[in-house]
């Protein structure tokens, strides 16, 4: 039994093909400046959380997306916030690992 020959595709529009390849490598992250980055104080006993669940979730999303350890994740989130011109504090790795 012989293998069937694989289909051969010929590119005829190189400009759109090149543009499509460039677009595959693009990274776009949307940050809402009105997002609650800091946690809201609750009247419960114990130490209140400093960062909101959305902030921790954003950091953990970056961690999973780029397969980073927690300490490198904090550095990357710091640089993302700096590029977005936001002066928000970044949770440290121990805060991320606990939540």
For 24-49, how does the pLDDT look when each residue is reduced to its tens digit (9 = 90+)?
877 788 888 888 898 888 887 877 78
| pLDDT tens sequence across 65-90 | 999 999 999 999 999 999 999 999 99
Indicate the domain borders of the chain: 29-98
Residue 38, phi then psi, degrees to nearest 5: -95, 145
Compute the distance between CA of residue 43 and CA of residue 41 in angstroms, rounded to an integer: 7
Instruction: List Cβ neighbours of 87 (8 Å cut-off, separation of 6 or more).
Output: 81
- Residue-level pLDDT at 13: 87
Query: Are the C-beta atoms of 55 and 99 separated by less than 8 Å?
Result: no
pLDDT score at 6: 86
96, 59 in Cβ contact below 8 A? yes
Cα–Cα distances (Å) from 68 to 30, 57, 65, 71, 73, in that order, read 20, 15, 8, 8, 6
* pLDDT tens, residue by residue, 4-19: 888 888 888 889 988 8
The pLDDT value recorded for residue 33 is 87
């Amino acid at each position: 039994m012989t293998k069937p020959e694989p289909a051969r595709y010929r590119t005829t529009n190189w400009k759109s093909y090149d543009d499509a390849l460039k677009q595959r490598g693009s990274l776009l992250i949307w940050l809402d400046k009105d997002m609650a980055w800091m946690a809201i104080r609750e009247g419960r006993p114990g130490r209140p959380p400093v960062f909101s669940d959305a902030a921790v979730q954003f950091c953990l999303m970056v961690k999973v997306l780029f397969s980073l350890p927690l300490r490198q994740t904090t550095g990357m989130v710091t640089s993302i916030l700096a590029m977005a011109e936001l002066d928000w504090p970044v949770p440290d790795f121990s805060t991320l690992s606990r939540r």
